[in-house]
Amino acid sequence: MVDKAVSFLTSQVTQRPAIAVVLGSGLGDFAEHVSDAIEVRADTIPGYPVSSVVGHDGKLIFGTIRAGGRSSLPLLVFKGRVHFYESGDLKTATFPISVAAALGVRYLLATNAAGGINPAFSEGELMLIEDHINFTFLHPHLSDQRSDPTPFHTASSSPLHKEMKKYIHEAAGALGMSLRSGTYCWLKGPSYETKAEIEMLRRLGADAVGMSTVPELILATELGMKVGAVSLISNMAAGLSKGPLSHEEVSETATRVKEVFKSLLEETILRIKD
Ligand code: HPA
């Protein structure tokens, strides 16, 4: 199915992207800042999974970031993602990453909305993902049959690439923006966590929690991409926030910080060099 999607896309768009950006919950507006944009709707691409979550539009945008006389490497923005909990299938959830790799993408910048677990964090802050905890114990290659000599046991002690972390830190510094950094924990969802679960994750060293991104980072790294990721702390997690959590609260925070988020992403993307 990936091959079909890729031949369709290469028949529509001649540009070959070097950087892919995945936009998380409520963060899709960033796509409006892509110059020379060619937009392809996900539901027109053969085999491409379409998200049913509010705030996940289902569009691929090819183009460039231009700002202050500078322009980025060719870019592919995934507006909206398909979460594991929608299909229960990791091959489906990571389909965009397989497509990006087949198109020649070498850098991945993943974004998400996450619940803050570190009590020092506040709603609306941005966090560079320094490391992650895969609390689903799933893997995109689980149950794969390997007929080729590709090793099953790949190193994953530094899943986030140091070059990408550097670009993100430098971008925040250049913008005079405060940026948290920490460990992101991936849970399957789709319900938000209990207070006891959040307390457990805090003791295990998680700074933020969410339902996405980690499988993308794992697969992209295996496919040879340099990966970086940023979380928007859209709410404090269960037990650390006042009322019950809702998807609306997540989206509202994302709307409130969209300018800051846009600046960090733009500045990071402009720094990525071949
Ligand atoms: N928990 C899990 N996923 C999330 C949260 C949360 O509190 N906020 C945004 N995505």
Residue to mutate, 117, 186, 192, 253, ligand 1, most ligand atoms under 8 Å from C-beta? 192
pLDDT of 242 = 79
User: In 57-161, where does DSSP find H-type helix?
Assistant: 84-87, 90-93, 95-102
Q: What pLDDT, on a 0 to 100 scale, did the predictor assign at position 135?
A: 97
Task: Compute the distance from residue 122 Cα to the ligand 1 centre, in Å.
Answer: 14
In 92-225, at which residue ranges do the beta strands (DSSP E only) sit? Answer: 107-116, 126-134, 180-186, 208-210
Three-class secondary structure of residue 201 per DSSP: helix
Q: 249 alpha carbon to ligand 1 midpoint, in Å?
A: 10
Catalytic residues, by residue number, are: 25, 56, 83, 85-86, 113, 211-212, 235, 247
Give nearest CA residue, ligand 1 atom 6. Answer: 115
Q: Let me know: does 112 contact 213? Beta carbons within 8 Å.
A: yes
Q: Does residue 167 contact residue 65 with C-beta atoms inside 8 Å?
A: no
Whether residue 123 has its Cβ less than 6 Å from ligand 1: no
Q: Rounded to 5 degrees, what are φ and ψ at 89?
A: -135, 120
Cβ 31 vs Cβ 42: under 8 Å: no
Residue 234 Cβ inside 6 Å of ligand 1? The answer reads yes
pLDDT at site 55 = 60
Contact by Cβ (8 Å): 223, 216: no
Who contacts 148 (Cβ-Cβ below 8 Å, separation ≥6)?
none
235 CA closest ligand 1 atom index: 8
Protein residue with its CA nearest to atom 10 in ligand 1: 114
Structure confidence at residue 56 (pLDDT): 60
Give residue 145's pLDDT: 67
All residues at 6 or more sequence positions from 32 whose CB lies less than 8 Å from its CB, including other chains: none
Does 28 sit in the ligand 1 pocket, CB within 6 Å? no
Q: Is 40 in the pocket of ligand 1 (CB under 6 A)?
A: no
List of residues 6+ apart from 89 with CB closer than 8 A: none
User: Where is 162: in which H helix or E strand?
Assistant: helix 162-174
Angle between helices 258-271 and 162-174 (to 10 degrees): 120
Per-residue pLDDT of the chain (274 residues; tens, 9 = 90+): 899 999 999 999 999 999 999 998 888 889 999 999 999 999 999 999 987 766 667 899 999 999 989 999 999 999 988 899 999 999 999 999 999 999 999 999 999 999 999 999 999 999 999 999 999 999 888 777 666 655 666 766 677 999 999 999 999 999 999 999 999 999 999 999 999 999 999 999 999 999 999 999 999 999 999 999 999 999 999 999 877 888 888 888 888 998 999 999 999 999 998 8
